[in-house]
Amino acid sequence: MEIRPLLMCFALCVVYATSKPTEKKERVHHDAPLSSREHDDAQGFDYDHDAFLGQKEAKSFDELSPEESKRRLGVIVVKIDGDSDGFVTEVELKAWIKKAQKKYIYENVDRQWKDFDVNNDGMISWEEYRNVTYGTYLDDPEPDDGYNYQHMMARDERRFKMADQNGDQIANKEEFTAFLHPEEYDHMKDIVVLETMEDIDKNGDGFIDLNEYIGDMYNHEDEMEEPDWVATEREQFSEFRDKNKDGKMDREETMDWILPSDYDHAEAEAKHLVYESDSNKDGKLSKEEILNKYDLFVGSQATDFGEALVRHDEF
């Protein structure tokens, strides 16, 4: 069985606590780039292919003939068309691209799923997760490893309830993904902020002051000069993090710090693909319009061809 999510988080905390004092802890969540390549259609469509398929899968498309690529792309268009109205919109294309780019997250959830779905009913209840994760530890009310498992379980249950959108204490695959990777879901942002503030707010006043902010990143040791980046972070806190200049960060300021509103690359790529392919300029793409520009699409974020090459039954 893989290391359980919350226990893994605590293991990481131990690593941070014992790491070199010059190392910087990173709490800010950024979306991964769609491609490591430059986006320059004049030089080729490699960026679009990486974006549409995912970088790992994009290379496999080179093995296909134009005829086969068009045929498989046609199958994929049907999947992208979420409302089955015969057209692909920017919103549908953006959703597909984001899903392709987060494939590693879904793979991680799939690996853990079988460990927690004890009764094999295709769902994971809070009871199942709790028993698998904490059962043996809760048998010992006073473990000698220094961890408060009751506190950890309560924190996990709070996050589970937030991910469980219908409130039935049972998680389907999407809800369990939100539980394990809350930073990827808008409705989970509050819990990410709350957990972060609880970790850093040592005096329990509900805010993060400068000393707590620096103390979370930097393990100071006596007679050691602070690295330059620490001074830079002090300036960042005063100039940018603490927006209202009251000497501390509240919930909104903490959210702006750890979950910044980055440039939405998936949205920009969806707009680009629609603009380049929408021959009648009606703001949406027909299957014919997409196939006419198959060399732009195939291999990009929307297709996931890598596994499709293996799963011939899908085509």
Number of domains composing the chain: 1
The answer to whether residues 154 and 78 touch, using CB atoms and an 8 Å cutoff, is no
Residue 315, pLDDT score: 47
Mean pLDDT of 184-212: 96
10 assigned to some structural domain: no
| Alpha carbon distance 126, 161 (integer Å) | 9
Mean pLDDT of 51-68: 74
Residue 138, pLDDT score: 72
314 assigned to some structural domain: no
Residue 143, pLDDT score: 66
pLDDT in tens, 135-180: 877 776 666 666 788 889 999 999 999 999 999 999 999 999 999 9
| Residue of 44 and 189 predicted with greater confidence | 189
215 assigned to some structural domain: no
Percent of the chain past pLDDT 70, that is, above it, reads 81
| Residue of 304 and 182 predicted with greater confidence | 182
Considering Cα of 31, then 213, then 12, then 189, what sign does the dihedral take?
A: negative
| Alpha carbon distance 198, 142 (integer Å) | 23
Range of the domain at 103: 45-139+147-207+250-302
The answer to whether residues 302 and 45 touch, using CB atoms and an 8 Å cutoff, is no
Residue 25, pLDDT score: 67
Burial of 85: CB neighbours in 10 Å, binned 0-12, 13-18, 19+: exposed
What size, in residues, is the chain?
A: 315
Mean pLDDT of 96-125: 91
The answer to whether residues 222 and 210 touch, using CB atoms and an 8 Å cutoff, is no
pLDDT in tens, 4-18: 544 544 433 433 333
- Whose CA is closest to 149, among 9, 19, 18, 1? 9
33 assigned to some structural domain: no
DSSP-derived 3-state class of residue 134: helix
5 assigned to some structural domain: no
pLDDT in tens, 263-306: 788 999 999 999 999 999 999 999 999 999 988 987 433 344 33
pLDDT of 2 above 60: no
The whole-model pTM stands at: 0.69
280 assigned to some structural domain: yes
Residue 126, pLDDT score: 97
Percent of the chain past pLDDT 90, that is, above it, reads 52
Residue 29, pLDDT score: 82
Which residues in 94-114 are b (16+ Cβ under 10 Å) and which e?
A: bbbbbbbbbbeeeebbeebee
pLDDT of 89 above 60: yes
Residue 26, pLDDT score: 75
315 assigned to some structural domain: no
Token digits of residue 255:
């959210």
Residue 258, pLDDT score: 94
pLDDT in tens, 208-263: 999 999 999 887 765 577 888 999 999 999 999 999 999 999 999 999 999 988 77
13 assigned to some structural domain: no
Mean pLDDT of 183-211: 96
pLDDT in tens, 22-41: 456 678 887 777 888 888 88
Element (H, E) at 305: helix 305-308
The answer to whether residues 57 and 307 touch, using CB atoms and an 8 Å cutoff, is yes
Distances (CA, A) of 73 to 21, 46, 191, 193, 284: 51, 16, 39, 40, 17
pLDDT of 187 above 60: yes
Residue 28, pLDDT score: 84
> What are the backbone dihedrals phi and psi of residue 313, each rounded to the nearest 5 degrees, phi first?
-65, -20
| Alpha carbon distance 210, 55 (integer Å) | 39
Token digits of residue 124:
């994971």
